[in-house]
Structure 1
């Protein structure tokens, strides 16, 4: 039987904000489509392209930067390396010149208002986030493919729903939470150790470790940058950035010159409850303000929830002496397995499950990772993940103006704080007396997602999005 195999680098991806399902996923879909054209020897025969956005991608696509991401992907730009400072000028040039350099090789005519089509009232059955690419060729024929952005930057091409990754022989295959508990109890391995053993099936340990540290470097840079960038977020809501002012107030007169000395300056302020709480909020705000500004972030497991895990990890580094390579790798590896379990058993897409699928999952991942790094048992680790998700069940996704700003940014602070609370509860509890298992809460989250009204699933058709009067500029 085919089983989905998910690596730590599937759950954690380097990309550009503001959304993994509406920005990173469509960007990757556009890259895959141009790659398909190249594979079939058609790239130089293309004379025109039409891009059709369906469902949630259409309804909140402008606010989430879907149009921008797709055009960048069509040009061959990569979200891991593309200069975020060049986004505005690149898109402006495409609009002004009405030219698109397909895959960086074929210059074709492109009318932004006519060739990029938002089908607000149409959805495709497989997933709400759908995009169809149509390429019209010099031969008079056409080439078309449809892709679904299913959350967390994962993309599925229509007609190819099976995981296209080469199947490997994992020593500890995990499909559900019970599998993970089984392997941990029978081998004595920690959750992170199970993950690292499985990762060996894909690559040498040294590459996994260096890859995780590369992802941490992006988290680190994003957090530090966000804590020093003021002004207002783009998009028309005129939301003021708060992390920089909060950072300045908390640091006070202490000085620093880089990330490492910044962490030392933070530690010098003590560890009172209010002080620690404010820093956790500051870390989360910083990341998601960067995300909302088309900054480079790590999907964790999504862009909309990208601040939770970095915030809890920064808390662990600054206040729990977790600033070592081994501990950072342990944290990320453990978190990834919890995210994988939710991806396999439920969803990490807000368009499918509401915000419980993003903030809820990220909070569960962070809670588990923190618990293991603080010395919790395997059962306490899974208990922490369960507690964090249990108290996010039913959380809707209703972004005002279709932007990943309100209530999304503040929700990352809530998710981070809940993760720390869940970890502390688990560390002070006996898992044998727990009434709810991680497997049960995964199933419940999925059932809740299926029952949730579609207007609360990243459409901006309900909730805060319709109850807060706003006036956005014409796009």
Structure 2
């Protein structure tokens, strides 16, 4: 296997950044379609997010069922502090719905939620502390809200896990299957705050305004305790719903300006007793009240903040990404690198953060296997670490977290002659491809089955590996397209609701398939493929919409019901 472009052997960070910033030979096939592609300057629904949002450090075993819920708990507590309500809380009730309820036990969702409410940082929390603290909460029937905030902001409350944590197996909140509801009560038993939050995959969380709400108004009208409808009521993708994505930030004011949307926290003293008079909060189904000044971003500052954080090269699909690369004579990695700089990062910060991501990826391999081996073992090692609740990187999810690290490890160990340069190129290229799926389809198994996790990770790894082999942007996209095309329709039906079978072996096969996809693309002529990456992403979205709910991370069919097998695990079930 030979690299098709020349390499620089200098490992100095300055040289690496110069390599990513400099102009390279034009990869255009002669079909320059212009800068915009399908992107319009008036259309702010671009795909660009930070690489460090797409690849974030967290704990296993699931980005949507573990990382997302831990962030959701942090968000709810931060909102309570912002509204001055946390010290009034005497009791909490937590309800999880849909896929979160159906597979949450095997995914360690309860411990993630409770530790999130205690303000544990998902990127830094000691992985051994999580199960130990969870058992302590259950035994002592006490929980310390905001314990990680310091400065006396937290408050210890009574919490009976068996009574106050409810599993709504047959019910689903609107918009997304991974729904959770937090409700806080004062010492008189009166409800003082509630919010519905949704973990939409990859550790991303969507939520509306924290408010007082009637439970009946925000639940699915068809949720009567019977199994939920397979697809009805969930056909909308968050990108269609004026989503409020925090993009891994706990406080809305810390999120990127052009991603800061939705209703703000509402004070309870301005509430009306008439439920009909309460307007709907965008997308959440909860009732919104009037705004709190301290929680509302200053619109004057937001305008300048928007312009500062607007990506330099916004793209919304593969066509516009290729057009930008051709017009500005950039590789995909260089274009994403420039976008990171427009987010406010310096050259050194970008390099340090990318190398830190790789460090955690590499460590997750070492945690899972102590002897060196090849591609499949690298992937299996990461997923063994993930299944045991260890620290990994969402890439772009936890269920598929083994594919990108294993292909990158293979590249570094057996292909590369400049490891640091190729680590940066690989991760930046992979992130651009992941952004396209997040914008155009989904990275949530609860929406698209395993093709949204293993399929997307395979596509990202294929394109990134091709880039490290010297491929131009068109060949990179072709490799990514091949990677997803042969994963379309892949179901998510984990046995026992655990991220083990078929997940672990599927990561190994996904890694092998990624390299095969890249080699197929490299063997062809750039720009001659019949199926574009945008075509494949549209096909994936249509396939996801037509897929029955039983095959979307619910363990209600497929292998989950046809294999009467108890799989031993290295950590106790939640």
Could you state the TM-score of these two structures normalised by the residue count of structure 2? 0.73
Deviations 1:113-155 (A, max 9, x none): 1111000000012000000000102363420011000010010
Counterpart mapping for 1:39-438 below 5 A: 39-104=82-147, 105-138=154-187, 140-158=190-208, 161-163=243-245, 165-167=256-258, 168-202=309-343, 203-228=345-370, 247=371, 279-321=374-416, 324-438=419-533
Structure 1: stretches of 5+ with no match in the other structure: 229-246, 252-277
Task: Answer 1 or 2: which has greater helix percent.
Answer: 1
Contact 1:101 1:107 (8 Å CA) reproduced = yes
Contact 1:17 1:303 (8 Å CA) reproduced = yes
Corresponding residue for residue 14 of structure 2? none
Distance across 1 between alignment mates of 2:78 and 2:527? 51
Contact 1:401 1:460 (8 Å CA) reproduced = yes
Once the 2 structures are TM-superposed, how far is the Cα of residue 377 of structure 1 from its aligned partner? 1.4
Structure 2: stretches of 5+ with no match in the other structure: 1-42, 148-153, 210-241, 247-255, 259-308
Contact 2:105 2:497 (8 Å CA) reproduced = yes
Once the 2 structures are TM-superposed, how far is the Cα of residue 344 of structure 1 from its aligned partner? 0.2
Corresponding residue for residue 3 of structure 1? 45
Contact 2:55 2:393 (8 Å CA) reproduced = yes
1:439 aligns with 2:521: no
- Give the 3 Å change call, closer, same or farther, for CA 439–44 of structure 1 in structure 2: same
Contact 2:108 2:573 (8 Å CA) reproduced = no
> Aligned pair count?
428
Deviations 1:144-186 (A, max 9, x none): 0110000100100035723453122222101111110101111
Contact 1:322 1:328 (8 Å CA) reproduced = no
Structure showing greater radius of gyration is: 2
Q: Secondary structure at the match of 1:125?
A: coil
Q: Secondary structure at the match of 1:73?
A: helix
Distance across 2 between alignment mates of 1:323 and 1:75? 43
Once the 2 structures are TM-superposed, how far is the Cα of residue 205 of structure 1 from its aligned partner? 2.2
Deviations 1:286-328 (A, max 9, x none): 0000000000000000000000000000110111025521211
Distance across 1 between alignment mates of 2:135 and 2:438? 36
Distance across 2 between alignment mates of 1:2 and 1:120? 37
Once the 2 structures are TM-superposed, how far is the Cα of residue 204 of structure 1 from its aligned partner? 1.7
Once the 2 structures are TM-superposed, how far is the Cα of residue 378 of structure 1 from its aligned partner? 1.1
